[in-house]
Amino acid sequence: MIQITPQMRVLVAIDPTDFRRGIDGLAQQCRAVLEEDPLSGTVFVFRNRASTAVKLLVYDGQGFWLCLKRLSAGKFRHWPKGTSAQCTLAAHELQVLLFGGDPTKTLAAPMWRPLAHPALSQPARASSPPTPTSISW
């Protein structure tokens, strides 16, 4: 199952895409037009000319996921605009876009908040090197 986490990179293709393209065609578009590696784990988002459907392409380490959402009524009216071929969105902005909302009007807390981890704040002990843990099946 595909899950879009806040740490995932999301790239949206600004221009419409020919939806007759499948995985290989969209992966080629990632390389040629968006100038990105489709095997990077990035979530690539494409729309059709009528703005009634979107496709998501992502590689999970074993293979590609290709997801399609076609609206029953209406259009994706708030598609990102720009002079470049792509736009970067946060995961929560993608969710808003997929539900027909305007991702530029979402308000959320900043994505990066360093936390003090107790194990990292402890001083290192001068002891014997750690022994590797064994895995039993």
What pLDDT is attached to residue 105?
82
What pLDDT is attached to residue 112?
66
What pLDDT is attached to residue 11?
95
Q: For residue 78, what are its two tokens?
A: 């708030």
Q: Could you give the strand order of the β-sheet that contains 86-89, starting from the edge strand earlier in sequence? A: 64-70, 53-59, 43-47, 10-13, 86-89
> Measured at the alpha carbon of residue 48, what is the angle toward residues 103 and 111, in degrees to the nearest 5?
25
- The enclosing H or E element of 119 equals helix 118-121
What pLDDT is attached to residue 82?
83
What pLDDT is attached to residue 67?
96
What pLDDT is attached to residue 32?
95
Q: Which CA distances in Å does 76 have to 93, 100, 104, 132?
A: 14, 5, 14, 52
pTM recorded for the entire structure: 0.76
- Mark the ranges of the chain whose per-residue pLDDT is less than 50: 119-120
What pLDDT is attached to residue 5?
83
